[in-house]
Amino acid sequence: MKKRALIMNDLDNVVTVLEDVKKGETICFKVAGSNRTVKAIQSIARGHKIAIKTIERGEKVIKYGVPVGYAMTHIGVGEHVHVHNTASLRTEGVK
């Protein structure tokens, strides 16, 4: 079953899932007018982010077309993006 996600800006490297997603489920979203999919490699709760591009350690997490944090570890495509693998630019200072 395909699940839906929302991308806020075409520059984003994450999307927000609109419903709970189980590991292995396909997530659909639209970017730059094209339909895309990504397969979840772990379960993700509704309202959380999933990587749609590889985000290397130290690289910025982009949402709304702007950096909202940075990766503390390598984050692969389809991986849950949250406090366990990112740090906030607001609380940590801009890197």
Residue 92: what pLDDT?
56
User: What tens digit of pLDDT does each residue of 5-20 get?
Assistant: 999 999 999 999 999 9
CATH class of 2-92: mainly beta
Q: Which segments of 1-95 does DSSP mark as H helices, in order?
A: 89-92
Domain ranges of the chain: 2-92
Question: Closest Cα partner for 86 from 65, 61, 66?
Answer: 61
Residue 83 contacts residue 43 (beta carbons within 8 Å): no
* Bridge partners of residue 4, in order along the sequence: 28
User: What tens digit of pLDDT does each residue of 28-69 get?
Assistant: 999 888 999 999 999 999 999 999 999 999 999 999 999 999
